[in-house]
A and B are shown apart, each in its own frame.
Chain A
Amino acid sequence: NAGVTQTPKFQVLKTGQSMTLQCAQDMNHEYMSWYRQDPGMGLRLIHYSVGAGITDQGEVPNGYNVSRSTTEDFPLRLLSAAPSQTSVYFCASSPRVIATPLSKNIQYFGAGTRLSVL
């Protein structure tokens, strides 16, 4: 009953360090997305993927890289962390085939990774 699993839950980085935020889902969902949440800004889309091998940019992609080699995993890479990337990061997934019209575009979120860049 795992759903969307994000690791780590917390991370502190120094400016310039690199790291990868992990995201895995066990629901066989084709679509996966990364969002960041900042106070008063809601959640903003960073990158998304419609299937293995296919990724695209969202609203705030600068400073982040993604790849999707399997259906289950969608890691987010910070190549050179900056203080502006201090945020809470959420991974989400959704199925390509919807069960009912009312379940259209519903995304299932992980518990988040809280990242601080000093």
Chain B
Amino acid sequence: DQQVKQNSPSLSVQEGRISILNCDYTNSMFDYFLWYKKYPAEGPTFLISISSIKDKNEDGRFTVFLNKSAKHLSLHIVPSQPGDSAVYFCAASPRGTKAAGNKLTFGGGTRVLVKP
């Protein structure tokens, strides 16, 4: 049973509009969440993260929102650009030691296509 789920396998958006990616989790032990971006034939690269003590974190065009009661987080990209076309993975990290926190659990990914 997947503990981290991204229910939308793909998303298409017009350049300049907002992209909203969603992620749900089931494990209450998760206390840190990360978004990774992946281009074809490359490894995932870190995009933005949020701790469970916050409900929002912003970095330029990227904002992550966390709703702990609903066990739901979302990534907003505003405005979307063609270079944002990639697969986005949500990942969760459990509370505990730093070593335990390195055991990331990933969602299945959402493929975003930004049309010019």
Q: Which residues of A contact B (CB under 8 A)?
A: 4, 31, 33, 35, 40-45, 48, 50, 58-59, 90, 92, 94, 96, 98, 101-102, 104-112
Question: Chain B residues near A104 (CB, 8 Å)?
Answer: 32, 49, 51, 93, 98, 101
Q: Are B44's CB and A48's CB within 8 A?
A: no
Question: Chain A residues near B104 (CB, 8 Å)?
Answer: 33, 43, 45, 105, 107
Taking A50-B99, A58-B103 as given, write out 7 further A-B residue pairs in contact, using a Cβ cutoff of 8 Å, ordered by the A residue number.
Answer: A41-B2, A43-B91, A48-B103, A59-B105, A102-B57, A105-B102, A112-B43
Question: Chain A residues near B57 (CB, 8 Å)?
Answer: 102
24 pairs, CB–CB < 8 Å, chain A vs chain B: A33-B103, A40-B108, A41-B108, A42-B4, A42-B107, A43-B89, A43-B91, A44-B106, A45-B104, A90-B44, A92-B43, A94-B102, A98-B98, A104-B101, A105-B49, A106-B34, A106-B46, A106-B49, A107-B46, A107-B102, A107-B104, A108-B46, A109-B44, A109-B45
Q: What is the count of residue pairs linking A and B with beta-carbon distances less than 8 angstroms?
A: 75
The residue that A96 contacts in the complex, of B9, B45, B98, with Cβ under 8 A, is B98
When C-beta atoms are compared, the residue in chain A nearest to B51 turns out to be A101
Count residues on chain B whose CB falls below 8 Å from chain A CBs.
Answer: 30
